[in-house]
Amino acid sequence: MSWAPRTIEHNALERAAMRVLFAIVVARHVPSSLAHLQITLPNGLARLVDLHFLLDPEVFAIGRYLLWAALILYVLRIGWSIALPYMTAFSIAAGSVNNSHGAISHYLQIVSLVLCAQTAAHFYSLVRRKREAGSGAAAQREQRVIYWSQQAIVATYLVSALTKLIRTSGMWFFQSPLIALQIIKTNDQDRYDNLGAGSYESASAIADWIVQHPLLTGIVLSAGLLLELIAPIALFGRGFAAAYGLSLLLFHATVHRVMKLHFLYNEYLIWIYLVNVPFWILLAWRAIGRRRQAVGRNALQN
């Protein structure tokens, strides 16, 4: 492992797996309809453009069909100059409507930001096309799309950490034990959302324990803050990306268990762009192949 940031060279199979998996995430993050929503407090793109037309189920269905067409082009790596801007615009429009009914959620932004990064990377590569012409130019352009996607993911965690420090004037450590109240709140809210199902006694016990052990809680929770703060480390190579990605997944699993808060799209994108399972499977496959060959050679020699 090198202590210098570097672009990871992904092979064709990894890149194809990433395209397919990301396309599935993009298809899933857009709801089947926005008809149940009202635009009462326009947010984001809805402040600039009247998005009421998206509340019409028939119009939105056409938008989704076009999204699927764009996703097919994206997976096949054809017509990205049309597909990527459309995917990004539709994602931002749907997300803006979702956040324009008086309540702002934070589970979709990461997908839209990664799409923004991919679109920017694609057009940046087009601008530099003459300078980067050559046999591996297409692969290099896709490398840039992946690297910028990783940076968008990293940015969301870095921003989250910086906001904690800014809003508490650096005193997050001392405030963090008050998370006990939030644990009670989020678990109660979950209970009202799933009347009758689920177990909530442990949350109450955890909250009580936190209140009784503020110093220890501060240390444990500050580890989470530190994890977010060092997010750029994921850009230092495959090993760093995978190790950091797995740490984030553990962090999310803990938050989900204790606070009943699930950031599903964050987790999907971490699996795809940081942990990158296909690479490790390929690596293991090749290592097993080499070992078998070595065993075969040894058997012949003996």
Partner 1 sequence: MRLRLAALAPFAPLLLLTAACLLIREQYPFSNFPMYSSFGRSTYYVYLTNGADEPLRSQELVGMTTPTLKKVYDGEMRREAKLLRTPRRKLTPEQKRAVGERLLARLKTTVPAVEAGAAFPETLRLHHVEIELIGGRIEKKPSLIAEVR
Cα–Cα distance between 261 and 101 in angstroms, integer?
21
CB of 111 to partner 1, least distance (A): 8
Q: Which residue intervals of 128-200 are DSSP H helices?
A: 137-167, 172-175, 179-193
Q: Which helix (H) or strand (E) holds 273?
A: none
Q: At what angle do helices 214-229 and 179-193 cross, to 10 degrees?
A: 80
Q: Residue 173 or residue 271: which is nearer to partner 1 going by CB? A: 173
Cα–Cα distance between 134 and 3 in angstroms, integer?
29
**Non-local CB neighbours of 209 within 8 Å, separated by 6+ positions:** none
CB of 160 to partner 1, least distance (A): 4
CB of 161 to partner 1, least distance (A): 9
CB of 292 to partner 1, least distance (A): 39
Q: Residue 78 or residue 162: which is nearer to partner 1 going by CB? A: 162
- What is the CB-side half-sphere exposure of residue 241 using CA atoms within 13 A? 29
Q: Residue 67 or residue 92: which is nearer to partner 1 going by CB? A: 92
Written as six digits, the tokens of 219 are 């240390």
Helix, strand, coil content of the chain in percent (nearest 5): 75, 0, 25
Written as six digits, the tokens of 205 are 């016990």
CB of 42 to partner 1, least distance (A): 10
Q: Residue 52 or residue 101: which is nearer to partner 1 going by CB? A: 101
CB of 212 to partner 1, least distance (A): 7
Q: Residue 25 or residue 277: which is nearer to partner 1 going by CB? A: 25
3-state secondary structure of 265: helix
Q: Residue 24 or residue 159: which is nearer to partner 1 going by CB? A: 159
